[in-house]
Each structure stands twice: as structure tokens, then as C-alpha cells.
Amino acid sequence: MDGTEVKKLAALEDKHWWYRERRVLLGRELDALSRRGIQVGRALDIGAAGGGNTRVLRDRGWAGTALEYGAEGAEVAHHRGIPVVRADATTLPFAEQSLDLVVAFDILEHIGDDKSASGEMFRVLRPGGVALVAVPCDMDLWSEHDVAVGHVRRYERQELVDLLESSGFTLESLGSWNVLLRPVAARRRKRSTGSDLTETSSLVNAGLRAVIAAERYLPVGGFPGISLMARVRRPAG
């Protein structure tokens, strides 16, 4: 994603319905890990942009670090007081088995060599460590939006599973996200001429947030959506 798009994302992420709900989902995943007795530790947020998800990690006690490839996102995170490292996701500057949690939301689709990125996530996690991964799905939804924000691909469900398992991960959960709004997004994407990262009116933003929040309580994860969300673990053995 180029610097202009990163700056747009950073400006929007605090209030935009998409990014706000993503932070809620991350918080729910972290709470679920806590209920399972997993202790907070060192965490890395890959492709953190302005660091919105990193703040969720840190608010829940994780020693979270943002990782950004570009200067723009790293600068925003730094000015927000978030520990940040500039690096390539295919060569993470962390020791083997040194992290307890990796978050990679909407980053693998930007990377040509996603196998190396997935392998690096596995390498830096300790045995028993967890990775939370989110990617856009379904090449039928490919549009000028994907081109504008620097996507290389959108993932099919089995394609994501194969990628993560080939790195050594064990899949714990996989579900679709943004299912209810998929028909609307599909129609909009057919007419798309660029990035969808635009500010919406407060009324529209509230309405979309209410729709997407409803998915927390509905069994829709097995249906086609706009994104896929996976939780995987590095085996303890």
C-alpha cells in the first residue's frame, strides 16, 4: 500500500466502521485466549499502519510492537506513542521463537512472496504461540479497489489454509467476515474506479457499523464474505 493510502487509513481508522469492528474482533480473540489461560506476552502487529490494532494489544496487557514497511505508517504509529519497527514481513527482525502472538490483519495480500511471510510468522513464534490472520477473500470480488490499495491477490478459503499449514501452523479456526454486506460490496466493486478508503457520513457510518456488529451474534462464518479470519498455532511439540 502506498504512502497516500496508508495516511488515509490512519486518518480513518479511529472512527470508520470497518476498522472499528476489526478492533472489536481482535479484542474478542484476545479475550478468548485469556479465558483459555494463555498469558499475555510479546506480540507483533504486522502491517500495523497507524497502529490501531497494536493499541488493542497493549490495552489488554500485551507487549505489542507495530511493524510497518513504509515510512508513513511507521511515522504515524511513532507519533501516537506506539513502539514501531520498520521492516519487511518476509524478513522479520526478531529472533526465532521470541514472540507469543503475531497479528497479521490485511497484510498477506500485499506481499508477492506470502509463503516467506507466513514462514517468518511461524519462525518468530514460540512453540504454542498463536497467529491471528485476516485477508480479503474471493477473486470474484477483485476490483480497482484492490489495485489502488496494492493487493496482489484475494484468497480462497482453502488457499489460505494451505498457505498457513505449509508453514507448519495448525489451524484452530477459520471463518468469513463481513458476510451481510457482501452483496452491497459486490455491486459497488463492479463500479469501483479506485480505493474504497473514503470517509462516510456519520449516519451511514453508524448504519454500516450496526450491520457488521450484528455478525458477532449470528452463525454466518461459514458463508461467503468479504474477508477471512483465521487463528493458527505453532505446535508445542
Query: pTM here?
Result: 0.92
The overall average pLDDT reported for the chain is 91
Tell me which residue of 48, 58, 38 sits closest to 130, measured CA to CA: 38
* pLDDT tier at 21, thresholds 50, 70, 90: very high
Nearest-angstrom CA–CA distance, 78 and 66:
9
What mean pLDDT do residues 88-104 have? 98
Longest dimension (CA), the chain: 51
What mean pLDDT do residues 191-214 have? 83
Q: pLDDT tens-digit profile of 149-199?
A: 899 999 999 999 999 999 999 999 999 999 999 998 888 877 776 666 666
What mean pLDDT do residues 130-152 have? 93
In which element (H, E) is residue 25 found? helix 17-35
What mean pLDDT do residues 207-228 have? 95
Query: According to the model, what pLDDT value does residue 41 have?
Result: 97
Query: According to the model, what pLDDT value does residue 75 have?
Result: 86
Query: According to the model, what pLDDT value does residue 24 have?
Result: 95
What is the arrangement of strands in the sheet containing 63-68, beginning at the earlier edge strand?
A: 84-86, 63-68, 42-46, 99-105, 125-136, 227-233, 170-177
- Give the residue extent of every domain in the chain: 3-233
Rounded to the nearest angstrom, the gap between the alpha carbon of residue 151 and the centroid of all alpha carbons in its chain is 13
For domain 3-233, which architecture applies? 3-Layer(aba) Sandwich (3.40)
Q: pLDDT tens-digit profile of 33-67?
A: 999 999 999 999 999 988 999 999 999 999 999 99
CB within 8 Å of 24: residues ≥ 6 apart: 213, 216
Amino acid making up residue 90: T
In which element (H, E) is residue 123 found? helix 114-124
Return the DSSP state at 90.
Answer: T
